[in-house]
Amino acid sequence: MLKKTSQFKSLLQSGNLEFLMEAHNGLSAKIVEEAGFKGIWGSGLAISAALGVRDNNEASWTQVLDVVEFMSDASSIPIMLDADTGYGNFNNVRRLVKKLEQLGVGAVCIEDKLFPKNNSLLDNARQPLEAIDVFAGKIKAAKDTQQDADFCVVARIEAFIAGWGLGEALKRAEAYHAAGADALLIHSRLSTAEEILAFMDEWKDTCPIVVVPTKYYQTPTPVFQKAGISLVIWANHLLRSGIAAMQKTAALIHEQQSLLGVENEISSVQEVFRLQNNAELKLAEEKYLPPVSVHPETPDGH
Protein backbone atom coordinates (compact mmCIF):
# COMPACT_ATOMS: atom_id res chain seq x y z
CA MET A 1 0.00 0.00 0.00
CA LEU A 2 1.24 3.49 -0.92
CA LYS A 3 2.25 5.82 1.88
CA LYS A 4 -0.54 8.19 2.89
CA THR A 5 1.44 11.17 1.62
CA SER A 6 1.84 9.53 -1.80
CA GLN A 7 -1.83 8.54 -1.86
CA PHE A 8 -2.79 12.16 -1.24
CA LYS A 9 -0.41 13.52 -3.83
CA SER A 10 -1.73 11.20 -6.52
CA LEU A 11 -5.30 12.14 -5.57
CA LEU A 12 -4.43 15.79 -6.04
CA GLN A 13 -2.75 15.16 -9.37
CA SER A 14 -5.07 12.48 -10.76
CA GLY A 15 -6.51 14.75 -13.44
CA ASN A 16 -10.04 13.78 -12.33
CA LEU A 17 -12.32 15.51 -9.88
CA GLU A 18 -11.68 13.88 -6.50
CA PHE A 19 -13.39 14.17 -3.12
CA LEU A 20 -12.51 14.41 0.57
CA MET A 21 -15.08 13.68 3.27
CA GLU A 22 -15.03 15.25 6.70
CA ALA A 23 -14.22 13.24 9.81
CA HIS A 24 -13.74 14.43 13.38
CA ASN A 25 -12.61 11.35 15.34
CA GLY A 26 -11.36 7.80 14.82
CA LEU A 27 -14.82 6.37 14.30
CA SER A 28 -15.91 8.85 11.66
CA ALA A 29 -12.53 8.48 9.89
CA LYS A 30 -13.20 4.77 9.61
CA ILE A 31 -16.73 5.39 8.33
CA VAL A 32 -15.37 7.73 5.63
CA GLU A 33 -12.94 5.06 4.45
CA GLU A 34 -15.57 2.31 4.46
CA ALA A 35 -17.88 4.50 2.37
CA GLY A 36 -15.26 4.41 -0.39
CA PHE A 37 -13.68 7.86 -0.10
CA LYS A 38 -10.01 8.12 -0.98
CA GLY A 39 -9.23 10.87 1.53
CA ILE A 40 -10.36 12.55 4.73
CA TRP A 41 -10.82 16.22 5.59
CA GLY A 42 -9.78 16.74 9.22
CA SER A 43 -12.19 19.64 9.64
CA GLY A 44 -11.38 22.26 12.26
CA LEU A 45 -15.07 23.04 12.61
CA ALA A 46 -16.07 19.41 13.07
CA ILE A 47 -13.21 18.51 15.42
CA SER A 48 -13.83 21.53 17.64
CA ALA A 49 -17.60 21.00 17.64
CA ALA A 50 -17.12 17.34 18.57
CA LEU A 51 -14.91 18.49 21.45
CA GLY A 52 -17.72 20.83 22.55
CA VAL A 53 -15.88 24.08 21.81
CA ARG A 54 -16.03 26.82 19.17
CA ASP A 55 -14.06 26.94 15.91
CA ASN A 56 -11.93 29.81 17.26
CA ASN A 57 -8.77 27.93 18.24
CA GLU A 58 -10.32 27.20 21.62
CA ALA A 59 -8.93 23.66 21.35
CA SER A 60 -5.13 23.89 21.42
CA TRP A 61 -3.13 22.56 18.50
CA THR A 62 -1.90 19.58 20.50
CA GLN A 63 -5.49 18.75 21.49
CA VAL A 64 -6.38 18.79 17.78
CA LEU A 65 -3.39 16.56 17.01
CA ASP A 66 -4.46 14.09 19.71
CA VAL A 67 -7.74 13.66 17.79
CA VAL A 68 -5.90 13.47 14.46
CA GLU A 69 -3.67 10.71 15.81
CA PHE A 70 -6.73 8.56 16.52
CA MET A 71 -8.12 9.40 13.08
CA SER A 72 -4.87 8.46 11.38
CA ASP A 73 -4.56 5.20 13.34
CA ALA A 74 -8.16 4.24 12.51
CA SER A 75 -7.86 4.67 8.74
CA SER A 76 -5.57 3.77 5.87
CA ILE A 77 -6.51 6.64 3.56
CA PRO A 78 -4.78 10.03 3.81
CA ILE A 79 -5.99 12.87 5.99
CA MET A 80 -5.65 16.49 4.98
CA LEU A 81 -5.66 18.38 8.26
CA ASP A 82 -7.42 21.73 8.36
CA ALA A 83 -4.78 23.42 10.49
CA ASP A 84 -6.47 26.84 10.52
CA THR A 85 -3.76 29.53 10.39
CA GLY A 86 -1.02 27.09 11.36
CA TYR A 87 -1.58 27.97 15.04
CA GLY A 88 0.93 30.80 15.10
CA ASN A 89 3.72 32.09 12.87
CA PHE A 90 6.08 30.28 10.44
CA ASN A 91 7.88 28.66 13.35
CA ASN A 92 4.69 27.09 14.73
CA VAL A 93 3.98 25.85 11.19
CA ARG A 94 7.39 24.19 11.04
CA ARG A 95 6.74 22.32 14.27
CA LEU A 96 3.25 21.41 13.09
CA VAL A 97 4.52 19.88 9.84
CA LYS A 98 7.10 17.86 11.73
CA LYS A 99 4.44 16.43 14.05
CA LEU A 100 1.96 15.75 11.22
CA GLU A 101 4.56 13.73 9.34
CA GLN A 102 5.19 11.70 12.51
CA LEU A 103 1.45 10.98 12.76
CA GLY A 104 1.22 9.77 9.14
CA VAL A 105 -0.98 12.65 8.01
CA GLY A 106 -0.96 13.10 4.22
CA ALA A 107 -1.34 16.84 3.86
CA VAL A 108 -1.92 20.09 5.70
CA CYS A 109 -4.07 23.04 4.75
CA ILE A 110 -3.38 26.46 6.26
CA GLU A 111 -5.43 29.60 5.73
CA ASP A 112 -4.36 33.22 5.34
CA LYS A 113 -6.27 34.64 8.30
CA LEU A 114 -5.04 35.73 11.73
CA PHE A 115 -4.79 33.59 14.88
CA PRO A 116 -7.19 33.09 16.61
CA LYS A 117 -9.44 32.60 13.59
CA ASN A 118 -13.19 32.77 13.13
CA ASN A 119 -15.05 30.12 11.14
CA SER A 120 -15.44 31.28 7.53
CA LEU A 121 -19.19 30.63 7.41
CA LEU A 122 -20.09 32.68 10.52
CA ASP A 123 -22.38 35.62 9.80
CA ASN A 124 -20.94 39.04 10.60
CA ALA A 125 -17.64 37.63 11.86
CA ARG A 126 -14.46 39.66 11.56
CA GLN A 127 -12.16 37.99 9.05
CA PRO A 128 -8.87 39.92 9.01
CA LEU A 129 -6.34 38.53 6.55
CA GLU A 130 -2.65 37.84 7.12
CA ALA A 131 -0.22 39.98 5.08
CA ILE A 132 0.60 38.18 1.82
CA ASP A 133 4.36 38.01 2.39
CA VAL A 134 3.94 36.75 5.95
CA PHE A 135 1.61 33.96 4.82
CA ALA A 136 3.87 33.09 1.88
CA GLY A 137 6.65 32.71 4.48
CA LYS A 138 4.52 30.16 6.35
CA ILE A 139 4.02 28.14 3.16
CA LYS A 140 7.71 28.24 2.36
CA ALA A 141 8.59 27.22 5.94
CA ALA A 142 6.18 24.26 5.71
CA LYS A 143 7.66 23.08 2.41
CA ASP A 144 11.22 23.47 3.71
CA THR A 145 10.37 21.46 6.84
CA GLN A 146 8.75 18.38 5.33
CA GLN A 147 10.98 15.30 5.15
CA ASP A 148 8.72 13.27 2.87
CA ALA A 149 8.76 14.69 -0.66
CA ASP A 150 5.09 13.74 -1.19
CA PHE A 151 3.71 15.57 1.87
CA CYS A 152 1.39 18.26 0.49
CA VAL A 153 0.92 21.80 1.71
CA VAL A 154 -2.31 23.46 0.62
CA ALA A 155 -2.63 27.24 0.89
CA ARG A 156 -6.16 28.44 1.61
CA ILE A 157 -7.18 31.82 0.29
CA GLU A 158 -9.79 33.69 2.35
CA ALA A 159 -9.96 36.81 0.17
CA PHE A 160 -13.59 36.16 -0.85
CA ILE A 161 -14.57 35.28 2.74
CA ALA A 162 -13.06 38.56 3.94
CA GLY A 163 -14.82 40.52 1.16
CA TRP A 164 -11.69 41.54 -0.74
CA GLY A 165 -12.75 40.21 -4.16
CA LEU A 166 -11.21 38.49 -7.17
CA GLY A 167 -8.19 40.77 -7.66
CA GLU A 168 -6.96 40.11 -4.13
CA ALA A 169 -7.71 36.38 -4.44
CA LEU A 170 -5.59 36.14 -7.60
CA LYS A 171 -2.75 38.20 -6.12
CA ARG A 172 -2.65 35.84 -3.14
CA ALA A 173 -2.93 32.76 -5.38
CA GLU A 174 0.14 33.83 -7.32
CA ALA A 175 2.16 34.55 -4.18
CA TYR A 176 1.29 31.26 -2.47
CA HIS A 177 1.90 29.27 -5.64
CA ALA A 178 5.30 30.95 -5.98
CA ALA A 179 6.04 30.11 -2.31
CA GLY A 180 5.69 26.42 -3.14
CA ALA A 181 2.08 25.46 -2.27
CA ASP A 182 1.14 22.10 -3.80
CA ALA A 183 -2.45 23.31 -4.24
CA LEU A 184 -4.67 26.26 -3.38
CA LEU A 185 -7.99 26.09 -1.58
CA ILE A 186 -10.22 28.94 -2.67
CA HIS A 187 -13.11 29.47 -0.28
CA SER A 188 -16.43 31.25 -0.76
CA ARG A 189 -19.53 31.64 1.39
CA LEU A 190 -21.91 32.69 -1.37
CA SER A 191 -24.89 30.46 -2.12
CA THR A 192 -23.73 30.13 -5.75
CA ALA A 193 -20.33 29.12 -7.15
CA GLU A 194 -19.99 32.51 -8.87
CA GLU A 195 -16.79 33.62 -7.07
CA ILE A 196 -15.16 30.21 -7.48
CA LEU A 197 -15.92 30.01 -11.21
CA ALA A 198 -14.66 33.57 -11.77
CA PHE A 199 -11.42 32.58 -10.01
CA MET A 200 -11.09 29.41 -12.13
CA ASP A 201 -11.58 31.43 -15.33
CA GLU A 202 -8.48 33.44 -14.50
CA TRP A 203 -6.37 30.81 -12.73
CA LYS A 204 -6.95 28.07 -15.31
CA ASP A 205 -4.81 25.03 -14.49
CA THR A 206 -1.76 26.80 -13.04
CA CYS A 207 -1.89 24.40 -10.05
CA PRO A 208 -4.50 22.10 -8.44
CA ILE A 209 -7.49 23.88 -6.87
CA VAL A 210 -9.54 22.69 -3.90
CA VAL A 211 -13.05 23.94 -3.05
CA VAL A 212 -15.54 23.58 -0.17
CA PRO A 213 -19.10 23.90 -1.48
CA THR A 214 -20.88 23.92 1.90
CA LYS A 215 -22.79 27.13 1.04
CA TYR A 216 -23.06 26.62 -2.73
CA TYR A 217 -24.18 23.01 -2.34
CA GLN A 218 -26.79 23.42 -5.07
CA THR A 219 -24.06 23.63 -7.72
CA PRO A 220 -24.10 20.36 -9.70
CA THR A 221 -20.85 18.49 -9.20
CA PRO A 222 -20.02 18.29 -12.96
CA VAL A 223 -19.73 22.11 -12.91
CA PHE A 224 -16.65 21.74 -10.68
CA GLN A 225 -15.15 19.16 -13.03
CA LYS A 226 -15.76 21.38 -16.04
CA ALA A 227 -14.18 24.36 -14.28
CA GLY A 228 -10.95 22.35 -13.81
CA ILE A 229 -11.19 21.93 -10.03
CA SER A 230 -9.15 19.02 -8.64
CA LEU A 231 -10.61 18.35 -5.21
CA VAL A 232 -13.99 18.94 -3.60
CA ILE A 233 -14.32 18.81 0.20
CA TRP A 234 -17.62 17.75 1.78
CA ALA A 235 -16.61 19.61 4.90
CA ASN A 236 -18.98 18.94 7.79
CA HIS A 237 -21.67 16.49 6.76
CA LEU A 238 -20.85 13.62 9.11
CA LEU A 239 -20.80 16.01 12.05
CA ARG A 240 -24.16 17.45 11.01
CA SER A 241 -25.79 14.08 10.31
CA GLY A 242 -24.46 12.85 13.66
CA ILE A 243 -25.94 15.86 15.48
CA ALA A 244 -29.37 15.36 13.89
CA ALA A 245 -29.36 11.61 14.68
CA MET A 246 -28.17 12.07 18.27
CA GLN A 247 -30.70 14.84 18.99
CA LYS A 248 -33.52 12.65 17.68
CA THR A 249 -32.45 9.61 19.71
CA ALA A 250 -31.84 11.56 22.93
CA ALA A 251 -35.22 13.31 22.68
CA LEU A 252 -37.09 10.06 22.04
CA ILE A 253 -35.47 8.14 24.91
CA HIS A 254 -36.00 11.11 27.23
CA GLU A 255 -39.64 11.39 26.25
CA GLN A 256 -40.48 7.68 26.28
CA GLN A 257 -38.25 6.64 29.21
CA SER A 258 -37.71 3.46 27.24
CA LEU A 259 -35.38 2.09 24.57
CA LEU A 260 -38.19 0.41 22.64
CA GLY A 261 -38.73 3.25 20.20
CA VAL A 262 -35.09 3.54 19.16
CA GLU A 263 -33.61 0.04 19.21
CA ASN A 264 -34.44 -0.70 15.57
CA GLU A 265 -33.50 2.78 14.37
CA ILE A 266 -29.89 2.83 15.57
CA SER A 267 -26.72 0.82 14.91
CA SER A 268 -26.50 -2.47 16.77
CA VAL A 269 -23.91 -3.08 19.45
CA GLN A 270 -22.51 -5.72 17.06
CA GLU A 271 -21.91 -2.98 14.50
CA VAL A 272 -20.01 -0.97 17.12
CA PHE A 273 -17.83 -4.03 17.80
CA ARG A 274 -17.27 -4.56 14.06
CA LEU A 275 -16.13 -0.97 13.60
CA GLN A 276 -13.75 -1.41 16.55
CA ASN A 277 -12.38 -4.56 14.86
CA ASN A 278 -13.04 -6.82 17.81
CA ALA A 279 -12.64 -9.82 15.49
CA GLU A 280 -8.91 -9.07 15.23
CA LEU A 281 -8.51 -9.07 19.01
CA LYS A 282 -10.29 -12.42 19.24
CA LEU A 283 -7.78 -13.94 16.80
CA ALA A 284 -4.86 -12.33 18.63
CA GLU A 285 -6.10 -13.75 21.94
CA GLU A 286 -6.11 -17.22 20.43
CA LYS A 287 -2.55 -16.67 19.29
CA TYR A 288 -1.07 -15.01 22.38
CA LEU A 289 -3.09 -16.10 25.42
CA PRO A 290 -2.94 -19.56 26.92
CA PRO A 291 -6.05 -21.66 26.19
CA VAL A 292 -9.04 -20.77 28.34
CA SER A 293 -9.23 -22.96 31.43
CA VAL A 294 -12.51 -24.74 32.19
CA HIS A 295 -12.12 -23.57 35.79
CA PRO A 296 -12.82 -20.03 36.85
CA GLU A 297 -9.65 -17.97 37.10
CA THR A 298 -8.02 -17.88 40.51
CA PRO A 299 -6.92 -14.51 41.88
CA ASP A 300 -3.28 -15.07 40.85
CA GLY A 301 -4.35 -15.53 37.23
CA HIS A 302 -3.89 -19.32 36.94
Q: Which residues are known to be catalytic?
A: 55
C-alpha torsion sign, points 47, 49, 55, 57? negative
Residue 186: contacted member of ligand SPV, Mg ion, none (CB under 5 to 8 Å, by partner type): none
| Partner from Mg ion, ligand SPV, none binding residue 212, C-beta < 5-8 Å depending on class | ligand SPV
Beta carbons within 10 angstroms of residue 31's beta carbon: 18
Q: What's the closest the beta carbon of residue 15 comes to Mg ion, in angstroms?
A: 27
User: Pick from 5, 85, 188, 214: which binds ligand SPV (CB under 6 A)?
Assistant: 214
Q: Is 242 in the site for ligand SPV (CB under 6 A)?
A: no
State CA 291 to chain mean position distance. 43
Window 80-109: contact mask with ligand SPV (x via CB under 6 A) = --x---------------------------
Q: Which of ligand SPV, Mg ion, none does residue 121 bind to, with CB < 5 to 8 Å depending on kind?
A: ligand SPV
When asked if residue 159 is in the footprint of ligand SPV (CB under 6 A), the reply is no
Do the Cβ atoms of 51 and 67 come closer than 8 Å?
yes
Query: Which range of residues in 10-18, 42-50, 192-200, 254-262 is near ligand SPV by CB under 6 A?
Result: 42-50
Residue choice 32, 81, 175, 212 for contact with ligand SPV (CB under 6 A): 212
Strand partners for 152? 107
Q: How far apart are CA 188 and CA 218, in angstroms?
A: 14
Return d(Cα 82, Cα 212) in angstroms, integer: 12
Identify the CA nearest to 54 among candidates 44, 43, 68.
44
Identity (one letter) of the amino acid at 152?
Answer: C
Taking the CB of residue 259, how many other CB atoms lie within 10 A of it?
Answer: 11
| Residue 219 engages ligand SPV in binding (rule: CB under 6 A) | no
Name which of residues 170 to 209 contact ligand SPV (CB under 6 A).
none
